[in-house]
Amino acid sequence: MTLYIGREASKLWKRICSETTTEINLLAGNWRYILAGLIFQYIHGLAARGVHYLHRPGPTLQDVGFYILPELGQDKAYISESVFTCIFLSFFAWTFHPFIFKTKKIYTVLVWCRVLAFLVASQILRIITFYSTQLPGPNYHCREGSKLARLPPPQSPFEVLLINFPRGVLYGCGDLIFSSHMIFTLVFVLTYQKYGSRRFIKQVAWLVAVIQSLLIVASRKHYTVDVVVAWYTVNLVVFFIDKKFPGLLKISQITHKMSSKIDFFWVSRTDANFLLCFTELPDRSGGGMAPMLLPLSVKDKDGWNKEENHKLLNGNSVDPADWVER
């Protein structure tokens, strides 16, 4: 028994080390896009903080969802936040499962590149929308009579730039159309729908997304229109990036076998990292198939001769330094 545990622990450690090496190599080529996506999360928070200064409380607008769904009340407003936290943590843990489990179809860095691309595109549309028209907030702290409904003019730029985290995020007003919680929820669900392997979990994820939508409205954190707009906008954004963007990049999907043609159309090293970040993710579930070979770099056109080009098109490795065997 002890020998078996020791052997399995050794295999797990080797798998973690191998996965870490591969992900570090990918991160070295794509860290700019990861960093840009994370910086934009701050910019999005800054924009939400800014619109709070413009918010003017008023009577709650008529809303079909408010008539249909009973109000949860302030004492139960935490329910929707708890569900969202579970969604976020579950998705975050799933993106790192290749470090532990043998069955793996994704690369963590590439998944987060795509997720951040979806989030940034959706959040840009959101910022444009809630700055175009400010609605009176339906949340309890945004209603008339609440001290948090309006913010006094900032005394210094730092008061705005620091966005009073996390209180400023939790008690914001004015950033309504469309729901930020639904952006994250739908991006996570759509990503798992495409790259996840468990059909049951996919079905549960969609069910949880619907429940989250209802809870947001029942908690009076958003109007129904904020949730409805999020549903079709995020789906359209993901569809556009998935279907149109790779076509513009002129890159074919990376597959299991080395015999599959991989055509980078003679792009530079920087462009190749960008392509790897935003193109279709390679499917890593090989089973009994040949191990996956991941391109780590792409040479310029002038660096290739005819023999190397012929080998690449026939599925043979050209330069061992440019490929790492999985």
Q: Which residue has the tokens 């994250």?
A: 184
Given the residues 141, 222, 300, 319, select the one marked as catalytic.
Answer: 222
Judge whether 222 counts as a catalytic residue: yes
181 is catalytic: yes
What are the residues facing 295 on neighbouring strands?
Answer: 323
Residue from 44, 52, 55, 226 carrying the catalytic annotation: 226
Is residue 249 classed as helix, strand or coil in its secondary structure? helix
Which entry of 181, 300, 302, 310 is annotated as an active-site residue?
181
Q: Which two tokens stand for residue 323?
A: 């490929």
Question: SS3 sequence, 89-131?
Answer: HHHHHHHCHHHCCCCCCCCHHHHHHHHHHHHHHHHHHHHHHHH
C-beta of residue 249 within 8 angstroms of C-beta of residue 218: no
* Furthest CA-CA distance within the chain: 76
For residue 96, how many other CB atoms are within 10 A of its CB? 14
Tokens of 44: 């999005």
* Structural tokens at position 158: 């730092």
Question: Catalytic residue at 52?
Answer: no
Residues that are catalytic: 181, 222, 226
